Structure 1
């Protein structure tokens, strides 16, 4: 391999790692209910869709929607399994397989498996979502058992 090929390969690997990091930061912020960290994963002009129920456009609408979905939950957790990443210049597309579970407010329950269609772009703050769409594969709102625990501060 020539030096140019090595540099191209290294650049691609670094971009793929940065895209994976954005996806991991999204899941972590959603699980923790951290609005500031959640906000940092989005472009100002982004769009967010969840099934046929949720559609938000622009960072402020997306963050407000997140807060409405996340507030009053006893707990929420998101697991994201990374799929292939396609990068073209400063834009990327990817898809993840996702599992979420939540309880609250009150006696409401939520578990799902979904697939995302994601578009990201490189920004001065790293890769950010320009579009994120969750398509349900399975949704269950029946009661489940177990105890919810608060994460200790700083954990």
Structure 2
């Protein structure tokens, strides 16, 4: 593999991670689910949830997002190791928001990822969410989420 190909793979995987955050923030569930391989798995470890396959992931994220009055996620670069047509990596995440039931939420978390090259480009084969810090102090601000 040339240096150019290795750089291109890194850029494409970083874009994939950015698309995940953007799709979630924009409540674009179809786009978010399409970032996974057909047999991809999304895990939310702190609450023991696992969703396998694009249809299940799309339905799950739609159901989960409907609970939020507003939700903000920012992702930060982490590690990335590419091995041919597969890769592993981590992305660091900061999130906050308020649920419709009035509870607030702030956390710092890590996504542990496995990626696979597909004919449509790099996709998540597995994305596992690990929370490192959580705070439920009421948020005093106001939010505005896109229509569900």
TM-score, normalised via structure 1 length: 0.87
Runs of 4+ in 1 over 3 A off after TM superposition: none
Q: Deviations over 1:31-60 (max 9, x none)?
A: 111112212211111111112312112222
Matching residue of 2:116:
121
1:50 aligned onto 2:44: yes
CA–CA distance in 1 between the matches of 2:34 and 2:52?
A: 15
Name the structure, 1 or 2, with higher relative contact order (CA <8 Å, separation 6+): 2
SS at match of 1:52: helix
TM-score, normalised via structure 2 length: 0.91
- Within the candidate set 107, 126, 139, 2:134 is matched to 139
Matching residue of 1:23:
17
CA–CA distance in 2 between the matches of 1:70 and 1:151?
A: 11
Q: Deviations over 1:56-104 (max 9, x none)?
A: 1222221111111111422111111111211111111110111111212
Q: What is the total number of aligned residue pairs between the two structures? A: 146
1:84 aligned onto 2:84: no
Structure 1: runs of 5 or more not aligned? 1-6
- My pick for the range that moved more, 101-110 or 37-46, is 101-110
Structure 2: runs of 5 or more not aligned? none
Q: 1:144-155 counterparts in 2 under 5 A?
A: 144-150=139-145
Displacement of 1:150 in angstroms is: 4.1
CA–CA distance in 1 between the matches of 2:111 and 2:70?
A: 22
Q: Which has the larger radius of gyration?
A: 1
